[in-house]
Amino acid sequence: MFDLNLPPWLICSLLYVALVIAFGIFWPYIFQCQLIYSSWYPPGSRTKIAKPSDFGINYTEEVLTTKDGIKLRCYVITLDDIIEAKQAATILYFHAGTGNMGDRLPLVKVFNQKLGANVVMLSYRGYGFSEGKADEKGLRLDSQTLLDFVKEHDILQHTNLVAFGHALGGAVAIDLVSRNNSDFAGLILENTFLSIPKVISNIAPWLSYLTLLWHQKWPSETSIQNIINLPVLFISGAKDELVPIAHMKKLYQLCGSRQDRCWVEFATGSHNDTCLVPGYFDAIDDFVKGKILISQHWVHGGFMLDLLQVERLDSSSSSLQDTSDLYHRLLQHGPVEEQQLALEQLYDDETLYLTD
Ligand SMILES: *[C@@H]1O[C@H](CO)[C@@H](O)[C@H](O)[C@H]1NC(C)=O
Ligand SMILES: *[C@@H]1O[C@H](CO)[C@@H](O)[C@H](O)[C@H]1NC(C)=O
Ligand SMILES: *[C@@H]1O[C@H](CO)[C@@H](O)[C@H](O)[C@H]1NC(C)=O
């Protein structure tokens, strides 16, 4: 017969085994935020944050307050010349899961000083000197806070906004643009993933049976389908050791923007050093100048002012009628937001034009 009077040492051992198994199952549940949001790595990331001025970049630092009351640190880097700044693209830079925003300043310097873009960037909650603790819900509020700030900013509100995200930042960027599609003129993604559960099952297949326990999801594969009529650049390092390139390829396929998807692959690029491969910045420059600023140029810089010049030469008398004809000609060419911009720009320039 079965004896239920187990000796105490056996009960203790069984309890111990049960505890170990329970811990094995639940540790991903408990510790996943520390793994995914590694703001503690490299050591010192929460105490030493590089400043743009360390790299010879002019900037202002802002403290933004999120809807749930968390204070975030943010760098705002505009071109020195205000007119040029208003005509440039503005990159909203969303950094990857380690370190803080200061670590990315060498890249941002190239974006700003070589490619001529304005850049805004933040340390997410729980990163750098920003308050709070990182999680998916919180980071979504953080990205929204940055966008709302840019849309109110004196100079930046006039510019074409491009979200840029690397790895975890890619998930943040996809999520933000999918919710606020019409605020953006473009999206750039580098070595990002389909979702957290999918990338975990790639890194640690033995954990994949536990994917239900991963409460941090970042479902980019779903969100990206909502991104439409927007140029999207996919920058993929074929040697990415963390996120298999298949993730980027699948995101490219799923992207709701069909005509304007661009794929650039760097054979020797790995997860976080693709930016060092020659051709990286050219790819971004070509994309921004070729796909994003082209319509901007049309409104602010070349085409419209050219039209004004022609009009000025053609007609001996300038009148409001001319201006309104001109505006109607512009209307026939541009998308709605650009028409509005064209109108505003026209009146600014017209004060000069009509009075001389
Ligand atoms: C920074 O601002 C100063 C003063 O306005 C200016 O002289 C300098 O050229 C700027 N530096 C850069 C790199 O834009
Ligand atoms: C941007 O997304 C937020 C959050 O989903 C939403 O409340 C807001 O209305 C969106 N703004 C626009 C312009 O779509
Ligand atoms: C770059 O990626 C490697 C491998 O994925 C990782 O071990 C390393 O910590 C990363 N470096 C930084 C600075 O994030």
Per-residue pLDDT of the chain in tens (356 residues, 90 and over written 9): 556 678 888 888 999 988 888 877 777 777 889 889 999 999 999 999 999 999 999 999 999 999 999 999 999 999 999 999 999 999 999 999 999 999 999 999 999 999 999 999 999 999 999 999 999 999 999 999 999 999 999 999 989 999 999 999 999 999 999 999 999 999 999 999 999 999 988 888 877 767 778 899 999 999 999 999 999 999 999 999 999 999 999 999 999 998 889 999 999 999 989 999 999 999 999 999 999 987 544 444 344 444 443 343 344 434 444 444 555 555 444 455 555 555 555 545 443 332 22
Q: Which residues pair with 61 in a beta bridge?
A: 75
b/e string for 211-226 if b means 16 or more Cβ within 10 A?
eebbebebbbbebbee
Tell me what pLDDT residue 305 has: 43
Contact 251, 224 (CB under 8 A): yes
Domain locations in the chain? 52-297, 302-354
Ligand whose nearest atom lies closest to the CA of 182? 2
**273 ligand 3 Cβ < 6 A:** no
Give the distance (Å) from ligand 2 centre to CA of residue 175.
11
Give the pairing of strands 118-122 and 71-77.
antiparallel
Tell me what pLDDT residue 349 has: 47
Tell the residue nearest (CA) to atom 10 of ligand 2.
Answer: 180
**140 ligand 2 Cβ < 6 A:** no
Ligand whose nearest atom lies closest to the CA of 167? 3
Tell me what pLDDT residue 296 has: 46
Tell me what pLDDT residue 353 has: 35
Q: Does domain 52-297 have CATH number 3.40.50.720?
A: no
Give the distance (Å) from ligand 3 centre to CA of residue 90.
27
Tell me what pLDDT residue 10 has: 87
Which atom of ligand 1 is least distant from the CA of 113? Answer: 13
Task: Tell me which residue of 164, 188, 158 sits closest to 87, measured CA to CA.
Answer: 158
The contacts of residue 182 (CB under 8 Å, 6+ apart) are: 337
Tell me what pLDDT residue 48 has: 95
Is pTM beyond 0.85? Reply is: no
